[in-house]
Amino acid sequence: MSTTPYSRRDFLRLSWTLAAGVALPPALQGCLGSDDNTTPIPTETFVEPQILSSVNGKLDITLKLAYLKTTLNGKSVMLRNMYGTIPAPTLRVNAGDTLRILLVNQLPANSPSTEPATHLRYPNSTNLHTHGLHVSPGIVSPGVYGDYVMDDPKLGVQPGESRQHEYTIGADHPPGAYWYHPHLHGSTAIQLGSGMAGALMVRGAIDHVPEIAAAFERVFVFQGPAFNAQGIVESFTQVTDDPANETDWLINGVRRPRILMRRGEVQNWHFINASLLKFLNLSLDGHALHLYSTDGNNRAALAPIGPIVADDTRIQDGLALASGNRASVLVQAGAPGTYLLRTLRFGLGFGTQVPDVVAEIVVLDDARPMSLPSAPLPVPAALAPITDAELASAGGLKRTIVLATIFNAPPDFGDNLPITDPPASLIVHPGSEIDDWLYNTDKTFMYNSVFAVGAASELASTNPAFPAEYIVFQSSRALRQIVTLGSVEEWTVYNTNNIRHPFHIHINPFYVVKINGQPVEPFWADTIALPRFGSLEAPTSVTFRTRFRDFKGAFVFHCHMAAHEDMGMMQTVEVV
């Protein structure tokens, strides 16, 4: 941390632009302080994505998917995008609004492919997922789709085609940070690895809390596009589950942006991990991150994380966000100086993710006294705790799910933890299905491995004897979890690997009650990293409860490491 002061005279020259949290244009900022030998005010380089807001209860936009030639982190790239920007615009709506999105696929036709895994032959076919929204998963009227991602690759939005989506956001929808991205099975990783994602903010009661309403708001879309030396993402090999394939962290397309704050000022930051698989483990030098919302589900009180004295030699507990997770925090600027927003060293399971500096915060020496909320925060009724009594009265069904990566030739994870799973070649499969289950086109990190979901019907609820059969999403025998509308269920999701598979379910958020069988202080989420160090003999687990309310139809749950999802670690839920 640097404590170089910036004088009151410097600051007053800038104050007219900071009243709304906006810095001077770069051409003007470099001149500040140069006439009286005071320290120049640094240039703010944080770039907010374009914001598209609802008007009179409706936001109606067109997303055009095409190639974009641009520069990211000093590299000339040619990547797929939505709306001509990476990331895509921030969509801002209110609880109770209607969001309409016309998805227009202007990508070129899919090239002929000899890829043995047939579902990987459609990198330019697409669809749209509103991650975390509690909206209809089906076709809401003839030719109009909700959060419909159940396409066979051949039935997605093909190049040259379009699809109209409409999402009715309930008046009781939890407000907070959500996001949107393509989700067609087999092309998700390539398109997400191109940077095709944007924030989706739902407004509600939490935004009217005086201290939050007064705080300047920023959206951080964290991405690590997987472009190669030629600046393109055209092969599934590029987006396999080796984190080295992702570039350095970018925030709204910018590497290590600088943020300016006033001493005592409170800002409202929304973090969205839109990466392929990397985790964030966030910490701000000398400051607490006051967490008030996880995955768009706000809490009744602030939960401060930090400050943490960073140590690059060991794993530390910051604000951990798996791919797909979001968090909203309040930050109150301390003493003048320069501070670093970091992602700390983190144990992924398959190796350790190295620390990184993701942004720089400069606190200016001119006071703007502000306060953090002290009264309880408003929590939507939809996020009321799920008690034992409610679970019992609404069916009380308990399910067991298993996520499993099964290796023929275990890769070297560098952690001296042997993989004891049965070889992929022994998995039972009909006919030539195995060709779609193994990515053997190139000898990648995923070579000769099956990414699958265990047959839940074969599992015991205590001391699980895990099944001999694991089924991938594209299999003709893939299972479907049938759920009754209005029911409340408890699921335990097991992890048989030393990999932190992030479990994500569409449409209905869940209430986490146990980790590894031990009760935790319950919290709401829609994506959660399963604990690492799992094995067939001693799996790790997360137990949650969820209300299947409002909407019938089919949707999915899956690992949010996008390459795992594309290779079959996914299953269907149908609410009837």
Checking if the pLDDT of 301 tops 90, the result is: yes
CA–CA separation, 111 vs 109, rounded Å?
A: 6
pLDDT at 5: 47
Q: What is the pLDDT of residue 428?
A: 66
- Do residues 184 and 214 lie in contact, with contact meaning Cβ atoms separated by under 8 Å? no
179-215 residue pLDDT tens:
999 999 999 999 999 999 999 999 999 999 999 999 9
What percentage of the chain has pLDDT greater than the value 90? 69
CB distance 544 to 503 below 8 Å: no
| Structural domains of the chain, ranges and CATH numbers in brackets | 8-47+212-367 (2.60.40.420), 51-204 (2.60.40.420), 384-575 (2.60.40.420)
Whether residue 502 contacts residue 323, with contact meaning beta carbons closer than 8 Å, is answered with yes
Long-range contacts of 383-392 (CB under 8 A, 24+ apart): 383/174, 383/297, 383/298, 383/509, 383/524, 385/511, 385/522, 386/488, 386/511, 386/513, 386/522, 386/545, 386/546, 386/547, 390/488, 391/488, 391/489, 391/490, 391/545
Q: What's the mean pLDDT in 515-539?
A: 92
Instruction: Of 490, 476, 486, give the one whose Cα is nearest residue 543.
Output: 490
Tokens found for residue 330: 């309040």
Contact 96, 170 (CB under 8 A): yes
Average pLDDT of 377-383?
A: 96
Give 461's contacts (C-beta < 8 A, 6+ positions apart).
398, 400, 492
Q: How far apart are CA 297 and CA 304, in angstroms?
A: 16
Residue 88 has a CB neighbour count (10 Å cut-off) of 26
Backbone torsions φ then ψ of 72, nearest 5 degrees = -125, 125
Task: Give the chain's mean pLDDT.
Answer: 87
pLDDT for residue 444: 80
CA 339 to chain centroid, in Å, comes to 25
CA of residue 264 relative to chain centroid, distance: 30
Asked if 249 and 356 count as a contact pair (C-beta separation under 8 A), the reply is yes
Supply the DSSP string of 495-525, one letter for each residue: E-SSS--EEEESSS-EEEEEETTEEEEEEEE
* Amino acid at site 468: A
Q: What is the 3-state secondary structure (H, E, C) of 121-183?
A: CCCCCECCEEECCCCCCCEEECCEECCCCCCCHHHCECCCCEEEEEEECCCCCCCEEEEEECC
pLDDT digits (tens, 9 = 90+) for 27-75: 334 333 444 556 678 899 999 999 999 999 999 999 999 999 999 999 9
Residue 120, SS3? helix
pLDDT of amino acid 421? 53
- The answer to whether residue 4 scores a pLDDT higher than 50 is no
Positions of E strands within 421-505: 449-454, 470-471, 480-483, 488-495, 502-505
Q: How many CB atoms lie within 10 A of CB 230?
A: 11
Percent of the chain with pLDDT over 70: 87
pLDDT at 468 over 80: no
